[in-house]
Structure 1
Amino acid sequence: MKKIILTLVFASAITTLSAQTEKEKSTEIDFNKWSIEIAGGVNKPQEPMTPGYFTSTPSPFVVDLGVRYMFNNKFGLKADVGYNSFQPKKESIDFDTKYYRANLQAVTNLGRVMNFETWTNTIGLLGHAGFGYAQLRNENDDIQDKMGNFIAGVTAQVKLTNRLALTGDFTTIMNFSQSTAFDGASLTPEANRGFSGNLFTGTVGLTVYLGKNEKHADWVIDNGNEIEELRQKIATIENKMLDADNDGVANYLDQEENTPAGTLVDTKGRSIDKNNNNVPDETEAYILKNYSGNNGDGSVVYDNELIKSLINGGYVAVYFDFDKSTPTNVSTEGTDFILTYLRNNPSASVDIIGHADELGRSDYNDKLSTSRANNVKTTLVNANIDASRLNVVAAGEDTSVNKDSENARKLVRRVTFSVK
């Protein structure tokens, strides 16, 4: 038994040191820290006892009252007082003594330390250990033996509500400098006045949690935001593994995030353009098939009227992310297409028409649509297209789609063209 007690002493010292030195991790969780504990039960004085004097096993009765404060959801302190009554068994010589104590104890929430939350949210376990002062008195106060003590125990908890918990406790008390036997009938030899007094108690009680927050530290799972950070990391990984544009290349490898459906791409998600004319091969093949003819000598002749109709019908566009005036990477192909058309048709001019979705204020969206159109115009001017051939038109908000649909809004954050 003494080996167990010494182990508890060591555990108490480590717990106290940890409570003093461990920095509480940053958390957004607020919890109650104060509680009141009341319990009653039975006890058994082990030694010293005078020969012929003994109590029943166990014997009534014990009353404990304590106040506890938790620094965090694992460590705390409590101050408590106790009253024990020692009375004889029928076969014993008659006696009536009382034991009073006051202790300051370190508390460890063993339920959190051992991760009880992985299998239960209503059962807990506390460990407590500390030192204090005690007195042993008989019924007439002829004996008033004053002593120090060491106390250690474990408390099982069952959460009834966020304000109340049922407890069951087993505690060992070791007295030092105890001069009188627990029965009060004899003195303890001087040589045995170290940790010579042993007393066991078992109680059942209630813990009342105080404070304005929803939960007490006993039942708060606080990992310093580690779980939330882990969730965010997992979500980031999942997003990277998605293939938003369905081109067969995961997002984290995809350098063109909005490749048109069905377009052939390389291992980095970029549209394949074997002849390097800035028009994806799939788009170019479609145009060649539907909007061109053969000149007889093997050269290709484009049907400009059909291409003009394609452009004016909105099939060539430049797309933008939310609240941005810079085109998405893949959308530069629309600008390249218009650039090629204007170079092949020096007399043509175009309206550059900016659009925005319906989110935000209308006046702001008007300015945003203008900025988008001007951005495309600047790119074409820098590609040596005369600014006089380019006319900026601010179309403002496009109300043709459901503004509550994120995917639909992507379709209207764009610049279109009208060939003159």
Structure 2
Amino acid sequence: MKKITLLTLAFAAFSLSSTAQESLLNDYNKWSIDVGVGVAKASSPITPATEGVFFDTKLQDVAFELGARYMVNDKFGFKASGLYFQSTNTGDPAFDLDTEVFRANLEGVINLGNILGFREFTQRVNLLFHGGIGATNVSLPADAVLANESETLLNFMGGLTPQIRLTDNIALNLDISVIGNLQQDLTYDGRANVPQTRNFDGMIVTATGGLSIYLGKHDKHADWVDNSPKKLFGDRVQELEEQLAKVQRDLQDTDKDGVADYLDREPNTTSGVAVNTKGESIDMNKNGIPDELESSLEKMYVTKEYASETYFAGGVEGVKPDANDNLINVYFRFDSTQPEYYSLDAINQIVKYMRAHPEAEAVLTGYADQIGNTEYNNTLSENRAKKVYDIVIASGIEESRLSYRGGGVDSSVDKNSEEARQIVRRVSFELK
């Protein structure tokens, strides 16, 4: 066992780099809506102070921001956003104007938190960088020197966005950005921009606070995915341990006929009866009775009809009490509705019983373990029951004799034990 464990760990380390990112692709949400409100200041261009107008440098103009963001992966994404404010330019009310400023930008987003390994020490704090290109519209009011003039400018912008995660669906943001407008002809206090540098003639600084609202069906957004080497290595080791446990289960020989369960087509063979390489008892005349038992019965002057009722049907009679005592179950892998192939015999036993007893009815109840969102697990448990329900119907049992339901989360075992959680990811049967 020690050698197997060491080989497992070595294989995990070797395959980590090629499988880690692959496992993350579908495990998180990518879309978010970002809203914010804060303050802004257009710092240039303004009329020089030599003309008797003194610019107010306070960051006090109320600004509103709205954006939509899509993360291609847990490190990089794109964002479309807009911001609006009215620029109050001077400290002298006699010269003050409410110049309307609106910008719209398309930006690239870098998740610095994931790149710098924030998830190794915090699950609540993150940092994004964004930068891109867009357009700025400056509109002067009617009481400006250049009344009702407006212009649309090419801009470049960049900023940092610290985040605090409130829930899996909402994060608190504080964004600080700088916008540079190219070749701006109008000043924010209503005059022509003379002289012009023909570079970044207009500069705007904004500071907004708001929320990121995450959209999607998964538990986490790309902003908060834990892709630290420790986490990825641990996940891979756990996956390999589950595979090893499954191999060990498959190699068991429940009916002690010398054929491992994963190869055994008849895992409930009568003890001591000869079987073929597939674990099936030898029945040359295909009457459902192992040939070894049939010869013994004939020596005792028992009819074949009686033998069939006693041995063949008798093997089915134990199904009902076993099923109602939760001894016959269909098991599933983590987060899956596909039955483990070694569980198909449980379905086969139920089908055989219901064929032998046409009046019998069955209720199928699905369960999930304690890992993950409760609402999601409730749906998963019902889908597992529906999957087995469909298989039983496809095996020839009338739909009217069956019903299914979701039993939700089975919390009767230790949440931290993978082996224990395996036995509660199941569908059980109640035969009536």
Q: Give TM-score scaled by structure 2 length.
A: 0.49
2:269 equivalent in structure 1: 363
Gaps of 5+ in 1: 1-22, 240-320, 326-352, 373-402, 404-420
Name the aligned partner's letter for residue 43 of structure 2: Q
Alpha-carbon offset, residue 357 of structure 1: 9.9
Q: CA 1:85 to 1:362, structure 2 compared with 1: closer, same or farther past 3 Å?
A: same
- In structure 2, which of residues 94, 98, 102 is the aligned counterpart of residue 96 of structure 1? 98
Point out the structure with max Rg over C-alpha: 1
1:81 equivalent in structure 2: 82
1:214 equivalent in structure 2: 219
Distance 2:274 2:67 in 1: 66
Name the aligned partner's letter for residue 192 of structure 2: S
The 5 A counterparts of 1:113-192 are 113-140=115-142, 142-190=148-196, 192=197
Native 8 Å contact 2:254 2:268 kept in 1: no
Identity of aligned residues (%): 32
Name the aligned partner's letter for residue 84 of structure 2: Y
Alpha-carbon offset, residue 218 of structure 1: 1.1
Alpha-carbon offset, residue 126 of structure 1: 0.8
Q: Give CA deviations for 1:277-298 in whole Å, capped at 9, x if unaligned.
A: xxxxxxxxxxxxxxxxxxxxxx
Q: CA 1:362 to 1:75, structure 2 compared with 1: closer, same or farther past 3 Å?
A: same
Secondary structure of the residue aligned to 1:363 is coil
Secondary structure of the residue aligned to 1:169 is strand
Gaps of 5+ in 2: 1-18, 246-250, 279-326, 328-432
Distance 1:226 1:364 in 2: 46
Native 8 Å contact 2:20 2:232 kept in 1: no
- In structure 2, which of residues 252, 255, 258 is the aligned counterpart of residue 322 of structure 1? 252
Native 8 Å contact 1:67 1:78 kept in 2: yes
2:58 equivalent in structure 1: 57
Q: CA 1:167 to 1:187, structure 2 compared with 1: closer, same or farther past 3 Å?
A: same
Distance 2:90 2:210 in 1: 26
Q: CA 1:173 to 1:324, structure 2 compared with 1: closer, same or farther past 3 Å?
A: same
* Equivalenced residues, count: 246
Distance 2:140 2:20 in 1: 47
Distance 1:160 1:45 in 2: 32
Q: CA 1:363 to 1:44, structure 2 compared with 1: closer, same or farther past 3 Å?
A: same
Alpha-carbon offset, residue 323 of structure 1: 4.2
Secondary structure of the residue aligned to 2:188 is coil
Q: Does 1:41 align with 2:38?
A: yes
The 5 A counterparts of 1:4-403 are 25-27=21-23, 29-51=26-48, 52-91=53-92, 93-140=95-142, 142-190=148-196, 192-222=197-227, 226-228=232-234, 231=237, 322-323=252-253, 361-363=267-269
Native 8 Å contact 2:43 2:57 kept in 1: no
Secondary structure of the residue aligned to 1:55 is coil
Q: Give CA deviations for 1:242-296 in whole Å, capped at 9, x if unaligned.
A: xxxxxxxxxxxxxxxxxxxxxxxxxxxxxxxxxxxxxxxxxxxxxxxxxxxxxxx
Name the aligned partner's letter for residue 148 of structure 2: D
Computed over aligned residues only, the root mean square deviation of the Cα atoms, in angstroms, reads: 4.1
Q: CA 1:90 to 1:354, structure 2 compared with 1: closer, same or farther past 3 Å?
A: closer
Distance 1:127 1:324 in 2: 59
Alpha-carbon offset, residue 168 of structure 1: 0.4
Secondary structure of the residue aligned to 2:233 is helix
Name the aligned partner's letter for residue 122 of structure 1: R
Q: Give TM-score scaled by structure 1 length.
A: 0.51
Distance 1:103 1:94 in 2: 28
Distance 2:113 2:138 in 1: 35
Native 8 Å contact 1:59 1:86 kept in 2: no
Native 8 Å contact 1:32 1:213 kept in 2: yes
Alpha-carbon offset, residue 94 of structure 1: 2.0
